Amino acid sequence: MNIETIKLQNGWKQFDLRNDNGMIISLLNYGGIITRIIAPDRDGNAENVVLGFKNVQDYKTDPNFFGALIGRVAGRIQGAAFELDGTVYELEANDGVNHLHGGSHGFHKVIWETESFQEEDSIGVRLSHSSKDGEGGYPGNIELSVTYRLTNANELILEYEATTDKTTPLTLTNHSYFNLSGNLKDTIHQHQVRIDSHQFLELDEHLIPAGTILEAEQTPFDFRRGRILDDGISSGNEQNTIAGAGYDHYFLFDHSHTETVVVKEMTSGRVLAIETDQPGMVMYTANNLQSGMELAEALSKKHLGVCFETQSSPASLHHERFPNVILHPDETYKQRTVFRFTTE
């Protein structure tokens, strides 16, 4: 196992983590962005399984959050405002009238402090950042650390930890777009996905949760027995149509299985299993991905990747019963998500 550090322009650094199986994770200190994940197919061919730019400088102006660390609050906050302990906090409206992914200067734009490490069975990079009270409109000084760890079991482990000195909303995630076909040879229509979830949040026409928890059974949102993503992309179901022909919905996990999500791509034989202690995730099938951007292996187009944004729900700021995003000064935010790559 080894780590290579490459100095880029503007104080950016790239870290290449390589395990003993030839799996490679490349990430930047800018935005904590994962730029590539090289993983073998069933025949041992190592290919990239995430979307990333050909030119690294394109991440500066990326509207898609490719591979980025998201915060302070992942997802959309209705009306770009929330009330906490009697005080209304106004945020940047960077998604119509709503606030998305921490705003245009969120954690995806930060140059993080970094420390690489090598342990007996893993290598990785620990990223840290201090977010000041009032930054982005949010209350509280936040101390953050996020660890990216690659093991010889072909696992990418993300560990998040944060504290605050004022009560504040916080939920972090990674926004990688996965495509297990390898080197973007195909779209994600035929990816088979299993999700340990029987409920999801209804969206309104602005992609904001309407306050209703819907049952997935007998809809294209029931992934408990596995189904291809094209079932929803092509379904004509009202909720899939609202999302732009696909999924951009928060799934509430049942946590009845160790593996919360399992994704298979039958041509390559690649399998991605996700374990997490988060209460749910947004699955986003790149419905709004614009065409023609120069990615590492191909030009971008709709439905070229799928995101599994494990997190709590920012809709809990406006609706009860949803997974809470509030962090108090006497608490430590601690979350873990594992992406495990195998073949069959």
Strand, coil or helix: 86: coil
| Nearest Cα to Cα of residue 58 among 297, 307, 296, 306 | 296
Strand, coil or helix: 140: coil
Residue type for position 36: R
105 is catalytic: no
Q: Give Cβ neighbours of residue 153 (< 8 Å, ≥ 6 apart).
A: 340
Q: Are 111 and 29 in contact (CB under 8 A)?
A: yes
Among 135, 155, 265, 309, the active-site one is 309
Residue type for position 40: P
Strand, coil or helix: 233: helix
Among 99, 101, 129, 175, the active-site one is 175
318 is catalytic: no
The total of other beta-carbon atoms located within 10 Å of residue 162's CB is 24
Would you call 85 exposed, middle or buried from its count of C-beta atoms within 10 A (0-12, 13-18, 19+)? exposed
Active-site residue list: 175, 309
